[in-house]
Amino acid sequence: MEVTNPLYRGQGIHVIASIFTVDHGVVKVLLIKRKNEPYKDKWALVGGALYNNEDLMDGLKREVKEKSGISDIDLTLIDVFGKVDRSPVMRMVAISYLGVIDINRVNILKETQKTSNAVWTPLDEVSNLAYDHEEIIASSFEKLKHMILNSNILASLFPDGFTMPEIQKTYEAILGIQLDRRNFRRKLLSLDLIEDTGNTQVFAGRKPAKVYRFKDKILDISVFNI
Amino acid sequence: MEVTNPLYRGQGIHVIASIFTVDHGVVKVLLIKRKNEPYKDKWALVGGALYNNEDLMDGLKREVKEKSGISDIDLTLIDVFGKVDRSPVMRMVAISYLGVIDINRVNILKETQKTSNAVWTPLDEVSNLAYDHEEIIASSFEKLKHMILNSNILASLFPDGFTMPEIQKTYEAILGIQLDRRNFRRKLLSLDLIEDTGNTQVFAGRKPAKVYRFKDKILDISVFNI
DNA sequence: GCAAAAGTGTTAGGAGTACACCCATGC
DNA sequence: GCATGGGTGTACTCCTAACACTTTTGC
């Protein structure tokens, strides 16, 4: 069968990743600088056009690898962006994904065939991006706030474990609120999501903190307890 | 700018709606019978290929209108399906949406230019559909279960209001579990989501039931109360 | 010993759960 | 009056929220 209707022609799919980290209490997103048109020399999220012979996740991981060097990251579907004019080249529908990664565990490629720079950018410094990528980041960040409350997505931020004060600061940075130390600890422990490693970590001049790690477990609580 | 790379050609977007209702305690989904290839004479969800000059929601509503006659329905993005071979015609990525509608308030078109029949089908009788539509229904139904616990999506099932026993049966049908009458009522009222209309509805031989209605309010609770 | 930050416990209030009784209707 | 099903209240438990003291370290 052949498609002849011109209304169906000239369409493509973008797969795009909002990759977040939390660095010293600041939430950052990975941006790359584009080498090519459209939006040459503009900052943008990692991602690109899907090939017609690859599945969505394969294309996404290929794009992430090509443009950032990151090869080992879990990405979750977040949203879809399809305004007719969102790309100046052709009709592109963007499928957006979210990932979280430990900034210290990954070497970001500063330059690739298609990018001239790559920077972890604090959320409040994000502006003037290519395409509708600012909107995509906003939608992903909202979802991230939700996900840290309903999943173990932060496990990938702490591959070697974490102390309670550390992870609490991460929650506070992402949610933008202050939390009570004692209740936070009790709540996180009660979820059966993390476990004590038996180790401690010492910072200068302070009492050593216990190190916990995430269990290999998916949490997906529902709210409404009827 | 022109796209010459063949890897980017021959792609299209499906917009697809899983439209659910609850009819006498049975959850049903709207299926249409296709008149044309591919999957001629197969049952399928309402939906079709997006035009390259229309936004996603516009294309979706056009398809829903064309193939079912339904013109007034809220649809929510649910999921994306993009396996390379999900369509035999060309590379199609499907964006799936979810809607709920009162079966008594809508006249479904039994035949259209592209469909030869339309039926509200109980979920457990759904089988042998076109494309990956069974998978799409499964994903949408899971999300529906979640949404009735976290949003006022059921408002569209009861445009004229509802009684507590009625809506409880609806929750039970969708969730597949039994609920305690007294606690269900208290919980639903405590959410500040519905209000008493002051009216009652009488069934034969029974005490009249109060009629409630949904407030115009979006509910999006988070779970984890830290 | 002192400052800084980590660890722990207690209590009051609110939400969830389980359960029993009264009430309005049609026949 | 009786069967059917709708409406309401209460006690127990558990989770949450607010809050203060003790412990360990480096200097």
pLDDT tens sequence across B4-13: 788 998 999 9
pLDDT digit string, tens, across residues A54-104 = 999 999 999 999 999 999 999 999 999 999 999 999 999 999 999 999 999
Say if domain A153-214 classifies as CATH 1.10.10.10.
yes
Which chain A residues are within 8 Å of B56, Cβ to Cβ? 80, 82, 93
| B77 interaction partners in chain A (CB closer than 8 Å) | 79-80
Q: How many angstroms away from the CA of B91 is the closest CA of chain A?
A: 6
Contacts of A8 in chain B (CB under 8 A): 12, 49, 51-52
Task: Give chain A's largest Cα–Cα span.
Answer: 73
Mean pLDDT (whole number) for A28-38: 96
What average pLDDT does chain B have? 92
In contact, B34 and B89? CB cutoff 8 Å: no
Q: In whole angstroms, give the CA distance from residue B30 to residue B32.
A: 7
The verdict on a CB contact (< 8 Å) between B93 and A54 is no
**A146 CB contact with strand D at below 7 Å:** no
Is the alpha carbon torsion for A78, A81, A82, A86 positive or negative? negative
Q: How far is the CA of B174 from the C1' of C13 (A)?
A: 34
Q: What confidence score (pLDDT) does residue B4 get?
A: 75
B:152-191 Cβ neighbours of strand C under 7 Å = 180-183, 186-187, 190
Q: Is A47 left (phi over 0), alpha (psi -120 to 50) or beta?
A: left
Q: What is the pLDDT of residue A135?
A: 98
CATH architecture of A6-129: Alpha-Beta Complex (3.90)
pLDDT digits 0-9 by tens, B190-221: 888 899 999 999 887 789 999 999 987 555 54
B8, B95 in Cβ contact below 8 A?
no
**In chain B, which residues from 42 to 81 place their CB closer than 7 Å to nucleic acid strand D?**
none
pLDDT of residue B2: 59
Q: Tens of pLDDT along B146-196?
A: 889 888 899 999 999 999 999 999 999 999 999 999 999 999 998 888 999
Rounded to an integer, the average pLDDT of A194-210 is 91
Name the percent of chain A lying above pLDDT 70: 94
8 A C-beta contact, residue B25 and residue B171: no
What is the distance in angstroms measured between the alpha-carbon CA of A29 and the sugar C1' of C16?
40
- Indicate the average pLDDT of chain A: 92
The domain limits of chain A are 6-129, 153-214
CB of A183 lies under 7 Å from some atom of strand C: yes
Check if residue B172 sits with its Cβ under 7 angstroms from strand D: no
- B148-186 in b/e form (b: 16+ CB < 10 A) is bbebbbbbbbbeebbbbebbbbbbbbbeeeeeeeeebbe
Which residues of B fall below an 8 Å CB-CB distance to A?
Answer: 1, 3, 7-13, 37-38, 49-56, 77, 79-80, 82-84, 88-91, 93, 95, 146, 149-150, 171, 179, 183-184, 187, 221-226
